[in-house]
Amino acid sequence: LEALHGIFNAAYSRANPDMQQDFAYEPRKYEEGSTVLNKATDQVAHRFDCLAVTLEMPFKDCWSNPDSERGWSPARSRSLGASLCDPLMYIHPYLCRVASDDGSFWNDLSEKDAYVFPTSKYRR
């Protein structure tokens, strides 16, 4: 799933500069009794062993692509949401391979699709 997450985030970042690949919640592993599954994304990923993502819109501006004049806007929100289709189409062939392959499809990926470990420690 980490490889699929990397492919998805990389493709989304290429489709829209407002996609923040480096800034996100740090991945957490499920452990019995933990609160990891209190978010729907984590619950879906764990329960169905599949790629699950949450799209959050910035309130003020995007740290990876700031606009000092206008900040975040409804137009940028629409664009970020609409461009979600691009990475979904890009990863579709990999989803089929995961279901039928021996699980080593990530060996064929280019460097541009590598997994980037996100951090919640924002820096300016």
Active site residue 56: yes
Tokens of 39: 């978010």
Residues 31, 32, 56, 69: which is the catalytic one?
Answer: 56
DSSP, residue by residue, 92-105: HHHHHHHHHS-S-G
**CB-CB contact of 70 with 18 (8 Å):** no
Amino acid at 117: F
Instruction: Provide the sign of the torsion angle of the four alpha carbons 4, 84, 13, 108, taken in this order.
Output: positive
Which residues are marked as active site? 56
